[in-house]
Amino acid sequence: MSPADPDTDPAPAGSAAPLASPTSDEARRERLLAEVAALPSLPGVYRWLDAQGGVLYVGKARNLKKRVSSYLQKDHGGTRIGHMVSRIAKLETTVVRSEAEALLLENNLIKTLNPKFNILFRDDKSYPYLKVTGTPDTDVVAATAAQRFARVAYFRGAVDRRHRYFGPYPNAWAVKQTIQLVQKVFRLRTCEDTVFNHRSRPCLLYQIQRCSGPCVDLISAADYARDVRDAERFLLGDAQAVIEDLQAQMMGFAEALEFEEAAKVRDRIGSLSRVLHQQSVEANSLSAADRDVDILAVKVAGGRACVNLAMVRGSRHLGDRAYFPAHVDDGAALSEQDFNDRAEEDLAGPADGGWAPHTPEVAVLEAFIAQHYIGQSVPPQLATSHRVSPELLDALGEAAGVKVRATHQPREQKRVWLEMAAKGADLALARLLAEEGSQQQRTRALVEALELEVDDPAQLRIECFDISHTAGEATQASCVVFEAHAMQSAQYRRFNIEGITGGDDYAAMRQVLTRRYAKLAEAVAHGRQEEPEPAPETEAAAAAPVPGDEPVPVPTPRTPGRKRGLARLPDLVLVDGGRGQVAMAREVFQELGLDISLIVGVEKGQGRKVGLEELVFADGREKVYLGHDSAALMLVAQIRDEAHRFAITGMRAKRASVRTGGSRLEDIPGVGPRKRARLLQRFGGVRGVASAGVDDLASVEGISKELAEEIYRALH
């Protein structure tokens, strides 16, 4: 990123003079005006920065000089724009060749820098796909048995050319439902290749008519390939053509007096017809160009917004997914300013009738389209609840290499889909507002119940610890963080507990608290509040969500005034346990010189029943029972349960690693990719290799007796 003018680059933010006095304000304004005067009248991206170097706003312009000067030459008063302009200390710009390049750069910077006045959507593009293994031109003669019989599977990640992919789907449930349909209608296999290669008799899926049994040659490769082609045509939206071909097959079997085969095809036609009926739309009711459509509906209320994205692929409605942006009010105000500037640059407006009114809904929708589809496949058709800028669509199409059209008043089936998406946006936003209101109420209730000295409940920071193990095996501790009325999963930590007697929870709690707060206590003692970087071998950030376990898509708001890499002592430290755990935590805090009044234990009630928990204090206060219907206790239980969940999932993963030897085949000298593949294929996975004896390992092609002994030692 280059400054606006290298010759007049302002001083670094750290050396900037305070902006409180009129003289400093005038000097700042004059310096910025001088920078703006030197800007070219070319497309580009601009960035406003504050005195600390924080990015306030990122925008793009067809004419940098006109757009940027409008911020400084107009009187914005006490508006949100005026508030931002009063904080501007520095300008940075980048000149590009076209608006499409400006769109790409703008949204890449927005996602990277998280500006305070831009509408921000969480960068979550890990959509799932349905994968069909192999390619149509696979050499059947040279291919293995597993390669000759394609497999359908759930997939999430980067696609490649070795397989065929269908989607993306809005969530894992939609993929799994589609796989079930493919199994039911076309009877394609879903088993792993290692399982497929070692079957000696058909599995249960064959018995319930969800697989045609290619593993034991119950169907020929040619017939199976035909079923795969029919399944792909169905996924692409050619279901009616598939039905016609199946009808022809049925008649052919009937004419040949093969009535059992004809009955099987008849049943397949019936299953496929029922699937199409459930979709409530015939494949031939839409043109080929309209079979892949994204439906976008936006709703703004209560200072929050929701964009509901519904996906239609191959004329099939795959479901929807809600997105909730941050900085809605500020971002909408700045977006309106940019819109007005664009309108002044082109007073005639676009050729199709002029500019549409720029409401907060339009601002949110345009921000979503720009941020969501950059670097993502975009369908040729968008159906939107509000009209969006034609220049945005042109720039998006140029960047994606496809012609993108959008309609905000669709007809027939697309209108039905848009109404469904709009209703979904209403419900999702109402649910979010209710959840946020409830969570804020719980936070305030806890502050009042424990008489915490917190001025703003949104600033309340709680850290909770839990220990998990199985009879002393694979002990792990978890630390979860609650702040800004929400769980902050990016700040979660796991700790591998070592050097203690198995099952000693008190020693484990001592170790995790010491490791968590020792350096932070030292930093506080020296007047610094900087959190040390966690050691990779002992601490791990929160893992990515497991495919199929879709979290509620509520964004995690950033705490005002906090920067990445900085931390502070929590206002409350929860430990899952009673007096014993609290006593151990008190000893650690006394040794570190920290305030023991921060420690609160969550002691299980009589019969360990939920809602009967009592709070135990480290500073000698009497135990407190908040009541089973207390909003404060609900929050404590929520945080405690999250700490328990995070600890037990980490412990199970560690235990599984320990029980398979704690080593990987990749780490064993002499075991390359080919030998590793042969071992996995022979024994069906790492667990099978680990359970094999030396003689069994040596029987694999390329594995000598010495190497088999080395593999056995490494895995045991």
> CB-hemisphere CA count at 13 Å for 342?
23
pLDDT at 274: 64
pLDDT at 673: 77
Residues comprising the chain, all counted: 716
Does residue 471 sit within a domain? yes
- 423/324 same-domain check: yes
Least confident range from 319-328, 500-509, 520-529: namely 520-529
Rounded Cα distance, 318 and 316, in Å:
6
pLDDT at 6: 40
What tokens appear for 700 in the block?
A: 């694999």
- 517/644 same-domain check: yes
- What pLDDT band is residue 697 in, cutting at 50, 70 and 90? confident
| pLDDT greater than 80 at residue 609 | no
Which domain, by its residues, includes 298? 288-430
The strand pair at 128-132 and 152-156 is best described as antiparallel
- 408/483 same-domain check: no
Domain boundary among 612, 632, 658: 658
Q: Considering only CA atoms, which of 483, 448, 435, 434 is closest in space to residue 630?
A: 448
pLDDT at 139: 55
pLDDT at 483: 92
Does residue 338 sit within a domain? yes
Question: How far, CA to CA in Å, does 572 sit from each of 4, 436, 447, 487, 514?
Answer: 46, 21, 10, 14, 16
**Residue bearing tokens 């097959």:** 249
- 488/576 same-domain check: yes
Question: How far, CA to CA in Å, does 567 sit from each of 139, 246, 447, 537, 560?
Answer: 58, 64, 21, 21, 12
Is residue 268 within 8 A of residue 246, CB to CB? The reply is yes
Residue 307 maps to which CATH number? 3.30.420
- 357/469 same-domain check: no
Output 25-29 pairs: Cβ under 8 A, ≥24 positions apart.
28/88, 28/89, 29/72
Output 353-362 pairs: Cβ under 8 A, ≥24 positions apart.
355/389, 356/386, 356/387, 359/386, 360/300, 360/305, 360/328, 360/329, 360/332, 361/298, 361/299, 361/300, 361/305, 361/385, 361/386, 362/386, 362/387, 362/388
Does residue 277 sit within a domain? no
The pLDDT of 663-683, averaged and rounded, is 76
Spacing of C-alpha 294 from chain mean position: 19
- 512/642 same-domain check: yes
Q: Where are the beta strands (DSSP E) in 352-492?
A: 381-384, 405-407, 461-470, 473-483, 486-487
Which amino acid, residue 433? L
The pLDDT tens digits for 117-131 are 888 887 665 678 889
What tokens appear for 245 in the block?
A: 């071909």
pTM score of the predicted model: 0.62
- 296/401 same-domain check: yes
Question: How far, CA to CA in Å, does 260 sit from each of 218, 245, 257, 272?
Answer: 15, 18, 9, 19
- 647/680 same-domain check: no
Does residue 192 sit within a domain? no
Spacing of C-alpha 102 from chain mean position: 26
The pLDDT tens digits for 213-230 are 999 889 888 889 888 988
Q: State the burial class of residue 658 (Cβ atoms within 10 Å of its Cβ: 0-12, 13-18, 19+).
A: exposed
Better-scored residue on pLDDT, 622 or 159: 622
Better-scored residue on pLDDT, 473 or 295: 295
Better-scored residue on pLDDT, 23 or 198: 198
* Torsion sign across C-alpha atoms 81, 86, 87, 91: positive
pLDDT at 537: 37
What tokens appear for 703 in the block?
A: 């594995």
Does residue 184 sit within a domain? no
- 417/513 same-domain check: no
pLDDT at 598: 92
What tokens appear for 341 in the block?
A: 């500037």
- 604/519 same-domain check: yes
- 635/673 same-domain check: no
pLDDT at 340: 65
| pLDDT greater than 60 at residue 13 | no
The pLDDT tens digits for 171-185 are 888 888 888 888 888
The strand pair at 293-301 and 381-384 is best described as parallel
Rounded Cα distance, 357 and 360, in Å:
10
Better-scored residue on pLDDT, 693 or 46: 46
Residue 683 maps to which CATH number? 1.10.150.20
Instruction: State the total domains in the chain.
Output: 4
> CB-hemisphere CA count at 13 Å for 578?
9
Rounded Cα distance, 547 and 335, in Å:
35
Rounded Cα distance, 101 and 399, in Å:
7
Least confident range from 115-119, 239-243, 533-537: namely 533-537
| pLDDT greater than 50 at residue 15 | no
Q: Considering only CA atoms, which of 346, 434, 442, 424 is closest in space to residue 390?
A: 346
Q: State the burial class of residue 277 (Cβ atoms within 10 Å of its Cβ: 0-12, 13-18, 19+).
A: exposed
pLDDT at 656: 63
Least confident range from 29-38, 584-593, 657-666: namely 657-666
Radius of gyration of the chain (CA): 31
pLDDT at 318: 82
Task: Report the 3 state secondary structure along 613-643.
Answer: CEEEECCCCCCECCCCCCHHHHHHHHHHHHH
pLDDT at 378: 83
Contacts of 520 (CB under 8 A, 6+ apart): 529, 531, 532, 567, 569
| pLDDT greater than 80 at residue 241 | no
pLDDT at 181: 83
Question: How far, CA to CA in Å, does 218 sit from each of 213, 262, 382?
Answer: 5, 17, 45
pLDDT at 343: 58
Is residue 80 within 8 A of residue 334, CB to CB? The reply is yes
Is residue 380 within 8 A of residue 292, CB to CB? The reply is yes
- 537/666 same-domain check: no
| pLDDT greater than 60 at residue 518 | yes
Contacts of 549 (CB under 8 A, 6+ apart): 172
For 642, other C-beta atoms within 10 Å of its C-beta total: 19
